[in-house]
A and B are shown apart, each in its own frame.
Chain A
């Protein structure tokens, strides 16, 4: 893949559009650190490190290579701050969804479903949330995710399947409740 826009950094253009890569890096930084103020700094650090480590890139998915650097950078930062907490640092159940005000989201999915998805994500380990982010939002392949998080592709597949299974159980439970209430 080669970026065709041609007005970016030549060292990275070889590996696709740096703007698209930057979106993934920024979002992952935020999902791991949960700190808006870290986004730009860490993103720049990631690309600087990637540039310095370009000679160690042995082909394959460049974005997986970037994500791996991003994770390392973020977890180093969190270790320095000693604030990492897998189970409680993320609040995926947003107050905005609890609001009764109808929003454009209603068109796509109802609030209840979003809340359940948020609950499910909140129950996941941090690494599983990252895997779901890479898989669902950026359509990473299992091999790419495996490279990025340092697991085997089979293990990644299993984790994604478990998370999805949990979500479906939540949804099925909701449907049964609705049915019993109607009955």
Chain B
């Protein structure tokens, strides 16, 4: 029996579509040596991913908001509109130029045809056109530095905001990554994971082929002091839980959630067991049936069918 090569194993882990379906699974079910090598490759892959991920500092909690604000400001700012106008003019300029040449040539031909010695008139017309073209060109060139200035000002403002926001870091961010494995210890991909605190979903993610979710960045309350246990001065404020679910597996709820203040994030491992029960859920869009404080929201009808 031919053993699997490392390339074949990595290709299998990469879910390369050119792989023959079931070939690797069938082989490793009969070959303990290759099964061990595959486990080693999976561990190695997880380690590389973990190390690369670990060396990424968390972004400030409002980084996305500031980025969106920045882009929103730029895309709707006068400089942005000027940019679009400038592009438009630049694109149209050769067309105008060509039209002017044709027009002038037409006038010249007409004057020559009429037998008029209109050289001075024609040149005056040409000069007028040239002035117009030059004016148009000067508009183009004049727009450029202004656009750059606006852009530079916008960037400087944003950079200042970004620096103060990042350096301030008034709100500490906790990090958490979730690793889901099957009962046999293999990483499970495509598992939905949600972090819930005080009844609110604060973060969601889906596990990748190595069984890990992306790091959840969770803003902590303003006071970063972490109390070891609830007491008279620091009563418990709520409950946090991790929930994981995937079709064909029993959902898992864990109340033991280990958050970390380290950029790399802590990794919490949950084990999921196969479920003999098929839990098919279908979501059907319902009708707009209610509104709250002027904001209409859509209700969805959940149809759940349990079959053995």
Contacts and interface: CB of A to CB of B under 8 A. Distances in A.
Interface of A: 7-12, 18-19, 22-23, 26-27, 30-31, 36-37, 39-41, 43-45, 47-48, 51-52, 55, 92, 94, 96, 103-105, 107-109, 113-114, 116-118, 120-121, 129, 132-133, 136-137, 139, 161, 164-165, 167-168, 171-172, 175
Dominant secondary structure of chain B at its interface with chain A: helix
Contacts of B163: 37, 40-41
A109 B71 contact: no
Contact of B44 (A7, A12, A51, A164): A164
Nearest to A120: B48
A165 B167 CA distance: 40
Given A104-B258, A118-B51, A137-B52, 10 more contacts: A22-B59, A26-B59, A30-B55, A48-B74, A94-B54, A104-B267, A107-B179, A108-B179, A117-B50, A132-B52
Q: Which of A23, A108, A168 has the largest number of chain B CB atoms within 10 A?
A: A108
Given A12-B71, A30-B56, A103-B266, A161 B47 contact: no
Interface stretch (B62-70, B107-115, B137-145, B282-290): B62-70
A109 B209 CA distance: 15
B166 A37 contact: yes
B10 A171 contact: no
Chain B: number of interface residues, binned into ranges: 35 or more
Nearest to A43: B67
Contact of B155 (A48, A55, A136, A137): A48
A131 to B, nearest CB: 11
B43 interface: yes
B296 to A, nearest CB: 15
A44 B70 contact: yes
Given A8-B68, A44-B70, A113-B44, A161 B7 contact: yes
Contacts of A165: 6
A4 to B, nearest CB: 13
Contacts of B59: 22-23, 26, 39-40
B31 interface: no
Contacts of B46: 108-109
B51 A117 contact: yes
A69 to B, nearest CB: 14
Contacts of B268: 104, 107
Interface of B: 6-7, 10, 40-41, 43-57, 59-60, 63-64, 66-68, 70-72, 74-75, 83, 87, 151, 154-155, 158-159, 162-163, 165-167, 179, 208-210, 212, 214, 258, 260, 262, 264, 266-269
A114 B267 contact: no
Contact of A117 (B44, B60, B264): B44
A43 B163 CA distance: 12
Contact of B48 (A37, A48, A96, A167): A167
Nearest to B154: A48
A120 B52 CA distance: 11
A47 B71 contact: yes
A119 B57 CA distance: 20
A39 B6 contact: no
Contacts of A30: 55-57
A161 B10 contact: yes
A168 B40 contact: yes
Contacts of A105: 50, 266-267
Given A37-B166, A105-B267, A113 B155 contact: no
B50 A109 contact: yes
B48 A117 contact: yes
Given A9-B72, A104-B260, A108-B269, A22 B52 contact: no
B44 A167 contact: yes
B267 A108 contact: yes
B161 to A, nearest CB: 9
A41 B159 CA distance: 6
17 contacts: A22-B64, A23-B214, A39-B166, A40-B60, A40-B163, A41-B163, A48-B151, A92-B51, A96-B264, A129-B52, A136-B49, A139-B208, A139-B209, A164-B44, A165-B6, A167-B44, A172-B40
A22 B75 contact: no
A136 B46 CA distance: 9
A114 B267 CA distance: 14
A9 B167 CA distance: 25
A52 B159 contact: no
A48 B71 contact: yes
